[in-house]
Amino acid sequence: MSDLAISILKPEEQKYTYSQSRQIIGQTGCIGHLRADIGSGKEFYSTWDDHYSEFKTPEFKQELDEVINALRFGPTDAFCGMVLSDRKLLSEFCFANPSASFGNDREWGIRVDTKAYSYLMRLNPNKGEYSLYCYCYRRDWLTQHMKQAERGIRFITPHYKEIFRLKDGDQIRIITEAGEKHDRTARYIDDYHVEIGGGFGCDLYHICEFAERMEHLGHKVIPLRSSLPEKCYVYVESTDKIGLVERGEMGYRTMAFIPDGASSKKDGVALLNEMKGITKAQAAAMNAGSLFGWETKAADPANYNEQGELLGPQHMDRGEAR
């Protein structure tokens, strides 16, 4: 096929290469997914699972075959050409494209678009594991859903006061009256409904229903933003100490060392965070979250400039997910 548009999966697209709930399948027009294994190196064994079989038309089935064959047999000069023909070529492609990584050494992602459909693929070059998961969508439905999901998930009080907004696919932490902590993935359904993942599936809530349920049970809900690192160093000026902050936790743990090359503990904090790739905005937001609460605007790195300075109200988050 000459009309294939092939690209690296964006981070916000990666979650669509896994099985979704019935609600999201319906909203995105997920027709089904193909699972395949290259076997000893050059075979191609595949199975198909239906999700939205009404859209599995003869035209779609023919196009899916053409898309997969294009990635198996070429043309060789195309991006991803023959990437599914051989485990060696698959491995070379994955490691040559670190931007396609899911953040581990097992999964890389590409997207293939045609006029009517989108094929979101999760690749794995490791022997003994499936080489491909290809989730097939109605392109117009997927595009519309993802555009709406950019608005983020609203978490409110039972009186509709917004507490915070969360990026689709990020996690919340539910803290019970007894102090137990349960981390759950939140998925956008529409502006008034949220899907909360649990240990045995997903529950669909109206956002007000969820707020009322949390209040009735005495639970507190805080965001665990993926835009924040899991851990971060902070300088505690009142005691001249280095502290270690964990995302979602209040306070800090004191660290009793200064890294080599630092002239002071404050400089040491900056050096440690820089070594971990933590930006000044992220460090400032982590510090604020540990002090004032993770649901506050100050705990969102999107509300800081590159120097880690809190933006004025006119420049802060006006509702988009962060």
Report the distance separating Cα 178 and Cα 53, nearest Å: 45
Query: Residue 7: how many CA atoms within 13 Å on its side-chain side?
Result: 9
At residue 260, the pLDDT reads 82
pTM, entire model: 0.86
Between the CA atoms of 139, 144, 150 and 155, what dihedral angle is there, to the nearest 10 degrees?
-120
Q: For position 258, what pLDDT does the model report?
A: 81
- 160 burial type by CB count under 10 A (0-12 exposed, 13-18 middle, 19+ buried): exposed
pLDDT at site 315: 53
Question: Which residues contact residue 11 at a Cβ distance below 8 angstroms, ignoring those fewer than 6 apart?
Answer: none
pLDDT number for residue 77: 63
**pLDDT at residue number 256:** 80
- The vertex-14 CA angle with 10 and 15, nearest 5°, equals 140
- pLDDT of 57 reads 96
pLDDT of residue 317: 52
Q: How far apart are CA 64 and CA 115, in angstroms?
A: 13
What does the pLDDT read at residue 198? 64
Q: Which residues of the chain have pLDDT under 50?
A: 200, 318-322
